[in-house]
């Protein structure tokens, strides 16, 4: 098993991404990261597989971002801790494969995980 979707059932975009993933495969696990949390190790894996800075993972329209984080400078490690402690900040849906990860908005991004798959 090589695919994990970080999913928020209350989010329409996340539900759309999950439904699209279901059309592609049944071989995945769902992580309800808002309910169950996300570890620093998971976040580091996501950043590595997306090949982005941790700040790229942040949903800037969230209230906590607007009130407490916008315009402030944080290190990469600080961003990872902020996201772990405030999982609503994580962009969704986020789909992580064996070697790559993608944001599932638009859902067609998910196709990237199935190209040249062994």
Residues 40-76: pLDDT tens digits?
999 999 999 999 999 999 999 999 999 999 999 999 9
Range of the domain at 10: 3-114
Whole-model pTM above 0.85?
yes
CATH classification at residue 22: 3.40.30.10
For residues 39 and 47, the answer to whether their CB atoms sit within 8 Å is: no
Distances (CA, A) of 74 to 3, 12, 56, 79: 30, 30, 12, 6
What's the domain count of the chain? Answer: 1
Distances (CA, A) of 89 to 20, 57, 99: 22, 8, 24
Q: Among positive and negative, which fits the CA dihedral 57, 62, 68, 72?
A: positive
The per-residue pLDDT for range 71-80, each reduced to its tens digit, is 999 999 999 9
Task: Give the separation between CA 53 and CA 44, rounded to whole angstroms.
Answer: 10
On the CB side of 50, CA atoms within 13 Å amount to 21
Percent of the chain's residues with pLDDT above 70: 97
DSSP H/E element including 45 = helix 40-50
């Amino acid at each position: 098993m090589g695919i994990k979707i970080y999913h928020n059932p209350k989010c329409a975009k996340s539900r759309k991404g999950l439904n699209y993933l279901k059309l592609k495969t049944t071989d995945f696990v769902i992580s309800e990261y808002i309910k169950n949390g996300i570890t620093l190790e998971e976040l580091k894996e996501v950043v590595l597989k997306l090949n982005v800075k941790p700040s790229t993972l942040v949903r800037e329209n969230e209230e906590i971002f607007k009130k407490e984080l916008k315009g402030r400078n944080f290190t990469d490690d600080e961003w990872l801790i902020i996201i772990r402690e405030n999982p609503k900040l994580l962009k969704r849906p986020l789909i992580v494969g064996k070697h790559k990860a993608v944001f599932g908005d638009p859902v067609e991004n998910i196709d990237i995980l199935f190209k040249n798959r062994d």
